[in-house]
Amino acid sequence: MPTTPINQLTGIGPAAEDTLHKTGIFTLWDLLLHLPLRYEDRTQLTPSHLLQVGQLIQVEGTISRCQELPSRRPVHLLTLQGDGFSIALRFLNYAKWAHILPKVGTRIRVFGQLNRDMSGELTLLHPNIVRLDGRNPPALPDTLTAVYPSVGTLKQGLLRKAINDGLQRLKQAPPAELLPQQTHQLSLVQALTAIHLARPGDAIALTIGSHPAVQRLALEELTAQQLLAMNARAAFANSRAIALQPTQDQCAQLTAALPFSLTKGQQQVWQDIQQDLTQAHPMHRLLQGDVGSGKTVLAALAAVHAASSGVQTSIMAPTEILAEQLHATLAPWLEPLGIPCQLLTASSKAADKRKALVGISDGSIHVIVGTHALFQEQVQYKNLGLVVVDEQHRFGVEQRLALKNKGTQESLIPHLLLMTATPIPRTLAMSFYGDLNISSLTERPPGRQPIETVVIPDARREAVADRLATACQKGTQAYWVCPFIVESETFDAQNVSDTAQWLKSRYPALRVGLVHGQLSGKEKDKQMQAFKAGMLDLLVATTVIEVGVNVPNATLMVIDNSERYGLAQLHQLRGRVGRGTGKSSCVLLYKHPVSETGHARLEAIRNSQDGFVLAEQDLHLRGPGEVLGTRQTGLSEWRVADLLRDTALHQPAKLMAAQIAQQNPEHVQPLIQRWLGNKLRFVQA
CATH architecture assignment, domain 48-140: Beta Barrel (2.40)
pLDDT band for position 627 (50/70/90)? very low
Comparing 330 with 247, which gets the higher pLDDT?
330
pLDDT band for position 548 (50/70/90)? low
How large is the average pLDDT for residues 527-555?
A: 84
Give the pLDDT confidence score for residue 547 in this predicted structure: 58
Instruction: Compute the distance between CA of residue 399 and CA of residue 633 in angstroms, rounded to an integer.
Output: 10
Give the pLDDT confidence score for residue 408 in this predicted structure: 54
Q: Is the pLDDT of residue 239 over 70?
A: yes
Q: Is the dihedral of CA 606, 481, 449, 629 positive or negative?
A: positive
pLDDT band for position 249 (50/70/90)? confident
Bridge partner list, 124: 89, 114
Give the pLDDT confidence score for residue 426 in this predicted structure: 61
Tell me how crowded residue 16 is: count the other CB atoms within 10 A of its CB: 21
Query: What are the residues whose beta carbons fall under 8 Å from the beta carbon of 186, sequence distance 6 or more?
Result: 194, 212, 213, 216
pLDDT band for position 492 (50/70/90)? low
* Range name among 80-89, 157-166, 443-452, 579-588 with the lowest pLDDT average: 443-452
Q: Which residues of the chain does CATH 2.40.50.140 include?
A: 48-140
Give the pLDDT confidence score for residue 328 in this predicted structure: 87
* Range name among 132-146, 568-582, 664-678 with the lowest pLDDT average: 568-582
Give the pLDDT confidence score for residue 682 in this predicted structure: 42
Backbone angles phi, psi at 67, to 5 degrees: -150, 150
Instruction: Compute the distance between CA of residue 325 and CA of residue 321 in angstroms, rounded to an integer.
Output: 6
Query: Do residues 614 and 412 make contact, with C-beta atoms less than 8 angstroms apart?
Result: no
How large is the average pLDDT for residues 508-518?
A: 90
Q: Is the pLDDT of residue 586 over 90?
A: yes
Give the pLDDT confidence score for residue 404 in this predicted structure: 59
Query: Do residues 57 and 122 make contact, with C-beta atoms less than 8 angstroms apart?
Result: no
360-395 tens-digit pLDDT: 999 999 999 998 888 777 888 899 999 998 876 554
Tell me how crowded residue 118 is: count the other CB atoms within 10 A of its CB: 5
Domain at 451-608, CATH from 3.40.50.300, 3.40.50.360, 3.40.50.261, 3.40.640.10: 3.40.50.300
Which homologous superfamily does the CATH classification assign to the domain defined by 250-441? P-loop containing nucleotide triphosphate hydrolases (3.40.50.300)
- Could you write out the three-class secondary structure of 260-304? CCCCHHHHHHHHHHHHHHCCCCCCEEEEEECCCCCCHHHHHHHHH
Instruction: Compute the distance between CA of residue 328 and CA of residue 333 in angstroms, rounded to an integer.
Output: 9
Instruction: Compute the distance between CA of residue 344 and CA of residue 378 in angstroms, rounded to an integer.
Output: 12
How large is the average pLDDT for residues 252-271?
A: 91
Helix-helix angle 611-622:596-607, to 10 degrees? 170
Backbone angles phi, psi at 312, to 5 degrees: -90, 155
Query: What are the residues whose beta carbons fall under 8 Å from the beta carbon of 118, sequence distance 6 or more?
Result: none
**SS3 call for 467:** helix
Question: Residue type for 527, please?
Answer: Q
**Structural element, H or E, at residue 456:** strand 451-457
Backbone angles phi, psi at 17, to 5 degrees: -60, -45
Tell me how crowded residue 257 is: count the other CB atoms within 10 A of its CB: 11
**SS3 call for 501:** helix
Of 485, 558, 562, 555, nearest in space to 524 by CA:
485
Query: Do residues 515 and 527 make contact, with C-beta atoms less than 8 angstroms apart?
Result: yes
Give the pLDDT confidence score for residue 26 in this predicted structure: 92
* CA 521 centroid distance within chain: 26
Backbone angles phi, psi at 273, to 5 degrees: -65, -45
How large is the average pLDDT for residues 498-503?
A: 92
Instruction: Compute the distance between CA of residue 200 and CA of residue 142 in angstroms, rounded to an integer.
Output: 8
pLDDT band for position 51 (50/70/90)? very high
Of 543, 545, 615, 555, nearest in space to 580 by CA:
555
pLDDT band for position 314 (50/70/90)? very high
**SS3 call for 573:** helix
Tell me how crowded residue 575 is: count the other CB atoms within 10 A of its CB: 24
335-357 tens-digit pLDDT: 999 999 999 988 788 888 899 89
pLDDT band for position 428 (50/70/90)? low
What's the order of all strands across the beta sheet hosting 437-441? 341-344, 367-370, 312-316, 384-390, 415-420, 284-289, 437-441
Give the pLDDT confidence score for residue 421 in this predicted structure: 75
Of 178, 177, 180, 210, nearest in space to 195 by CA:
210
pLDDT band for position 143 (50/70/90)? very high
How large is the average pLDDT for residues 407-415?
A: 72
Query: What are the residues whose beta carbons fall under 8 Å from the beta carbon of 139, sequence distance 6 or more?
Result: none
How large is the average pLDDT for residues 137-154?
A: 92
201-211 tens-digit pLDDT: 999 999 999 99
pLDDT band for position 683 (50/70/90)? very low
Query: Do residues 24 and 83 make contact, with C-beta atoms less than 8 angstroms apart?
Result: no
Query: Do residues 295 and 330 make contact, with C-beta atoms less than 8 angstroms apart?
Result: no
Give the pLDDT confidence score for residue 434 in this predicted structure: 60
Helix-helix angle 567-574:611-622, to 10 degrees? 150
Instruction: Compute the distance between CA of residue 661 and CA of residue 663 in angstroms, rounded to an integer.
Output: 6
Of 678, 645, 667, 640, nearest in space to 227 by CA:
667
Q: Is the pLDDT of residue 89 over 90?
A: yes
- Could you write out the three-class secondary structure of 172-237? HCCCCCCCCHHHCCCCHHHHHHHHHCCCCCCHHHHHHCCCHHHHHHHHHHHHHHHHHHHHHHHHHH
Instruction: Compute the distance between CA of residue 628 and CA of residue 615 in angstroms, rounded to an integer.
Output: 10
pLDDT band for position 405 (50/70/90)? low
Could you tell me where the beta strands, DSSP code E, fall in 11-138? 38-40, 56-69, 75-82, 85-91, 107-116, 122-125, 128-131
How large is the average pLDDT for residues 138-150?
A: 93
pLDDT band for position 685 (50/70/90)? very low
Comparing 39 with 433, which gets the higher pLDDT?
39
Give the pLDDT confidence score for residue 445 in this predicted structure: 66
Q: Which residues of the chain does CATH 3.40.50.300 include?
A: 250-441, 451-608
Give the pLDDT confidence score for residue 341 in this predicted structure: 95
Chain mean pLDDT for the chain: 85
How large is the average pLDDT for residues 530-548?
A: 84
220-234 tens-digit pLDDT: 999 998 888 888 777
* Residue 152, Cβ density class (10 Å: 0-12 exposed, 13-18 middle, ≥19 buried): exposed
